[in-house]
Amino acid sequence: MTLSLIILYVLTLIYLSIADRFRNHTSILAIQGVLLFGIAMAHLHSFHPVEMGFIIVETLIFKAIVIPAILMHVIKKTKINRIHASSSQFGALVMSIGALAASCTITYNMADESANIIFFGVALYALLSGLILIVMRKRIFAHLVGFLVIENGVFLFSMAIGVEFPILINLAIMLDILVSILMLGTFLRRMDDDMHTDETDALTSIKD
């Protein structure tokens, strides 16, 4: 069960690297939220109502519903549709596969018996995928998606390591991330309104 979900999660990351419509990016993030919920539930060793509640809030509500809703709202308001026309899908796919290979190699050499090797490798792949999205894509919205992919990777990483923070700290972390995403979404819209741009190439008015 967990392995199937993890494989699906990897497939969403590969698809994300070649998807060109931002609506698809948002849908994939929502699917990732649901997959993370399944993975976290399958990973639970026993029934803890508080822990379960937290997982539902963080994955199903937060990652699968709230964040995609915010992103959809931004897409609707800014009318940004797809990634930059000059972006190479093939190049992105090659980079993504390369990142997957690199993640496997690093995991093989680094992870010890205390970590879940599969989770570890996929979390690393998610981190690299997010960074690739940020570096390869020119549209600011894609950067926001990249950041969220990294956040999902971090969530998976915490399961790989098997670290359980106190619930209050987990809540604070979740709240922090939610506020950051809300602010990023707000400023993205403002940039579209005030600067009439959604591309990073236009962000060059501050330099030495």
Partner 1 sequence: MLAYLITSILLAVLPLFVRSERATNIIAALFFMVQVAGIAALFHFDRMNDVLLSVFRADTMAVTFHILMTCVLGFTLIHSSSYLKADGISTRSYKAYYTILMLLAVAITCVYYSDNVALTWVFLEATTVCSAGIIYHREFRQSLEATWKYLFVCSTGIAIAYMGILLLSTVATEGSLDYASLKEAIVNGNPLYLKVAFLLIVVGYSCKMEIFPLYTVGIDANYAAPAPASAFISTALVNAGFVSIMRIYHLYSSTGEVFEWARHLLILIGILSLAVGAMFLRRTNNYKRFLSYSTVENMGIVCIGMGIGGLALWAAVFHVICHTFVKSSMFYHVGVMRHIYDSYSINRIGNYININKVGAIGIIVGTLILLAFPPSPLFISEVFIFSEIITVGSWWLLALMLVLMCVVIYAIWSRALRLNYHANQDTLHLSAVNRRLSYSASVLLIAAIILGVWQPEILKSAIDTIVNIG
Least spacing, CB of residue 90 vs partner 1, in Å: 26
| Residue for token pair 């940020």 | 134
Nearer to partner 1, 46 or 114 (CB): 114
Nearer to partner 1, 96 or 116 (CB): 116
Of the candidates 54, 50, 76, 51, the residue with the CA atom closest to the CA atom of residue 63 = 54
Rg over alpha carbons for the chain, rounded to the nearest Å, is 17
- The torsion angles phi and psi of 164, rounded to 5 degrees, stand at -120, 110
Least spacing, CB of residue 22 vs partner 1, in Å: 17
Residues that bind partner 1 (CB under 8 A): 110, 112, 114-115, 127, 134, 140, 143-144, 147, 150-151, 154, 157-158, 161-166, 169, 172-173, 176-177, 179-180, 183-184, 187-188, 190-191, 194-195, 203, 205-206, 208
Nearer to partner 1, 89 or 186 (CB): 186
SS3 at position 84 = coil
SS3 at position 80 = coil
Nearer to partner 1, 39 or 184 (CB): 184
Least spacing, CB of residue 85 vs partner 1, in Å: 23
Least spacing, CB of residue 77 vs partner 1, in Å: 16
Least spacing, CB of residue 104 vs partner 1, in Å: 17
Nearer to partner 1, 93 or 189 (CB): 189
What's the rounded Cα separation, in Å, for the pair 37 and 87?
32
Q: How many CB atoms lie under 10 A from the CB of residue 70?
A: 18
| Residue for token pair 């741009």 | 197
Tell me which DSSP letter residue 139 carries. B
